[in-house]
Amino acid sequence: MEFSTESLGDDTVVVRGDGRLNMVSGPPMREVVKRSIDAGRPRVVVDLSRVPFMDSSGLGALISCLKSAREAGGDLRIVSPSAQVSMVLKLSNVDKILTPFASVEEAARE
């Protein structure tokens, strides 16, 4: 899985994943988010539109990133999860904490 980042304003970063979010790609995602937070961007928007699959390890990575962002005074928002990713979020009740947004702009605005 590959990740790209894009800065939005002074304190927000968009992290885009392309591929499966699992035990292999979870640690690199955490590192990308950590670097962004350390660079002064604690508001993180994770675009999941190109992530067709997520397992429990990927879910753990998202939760870890959320915790890191909140500890730094920011937040983590998710955008456009696939049906499978939405199902994992719902079955684990994480959809109550990480409510999906329809677009990056909408997630970054609030």
Share of the chain above pLDDT 70, in %: 99
pTM (2 d.p.): 0.94
Q: Which domains does the chain possess?
A: 2-109 (3.30.750.24)
Question: Around Cβ 3, how many Cβ atoms within 10 Å?
Answer: 16
Q: Which structure tokens are listed for 62? A: 């998202």
pLDDT of 9 reads: 87
Of 55, 62, 68, the closest CA to residue 100 belongs to 62
pLDDT in tens, 42-77: 999 999 999 999 999 999 999 999 999 999 999 999
Question: Taking all residues of the chain, what is their mean pLDDT, rounded to a whole number?
Answer: 96
* Phi then psi dihedrals of residue 100, to 5 deg: -70, 145
pLDDT of 77 reads: 97
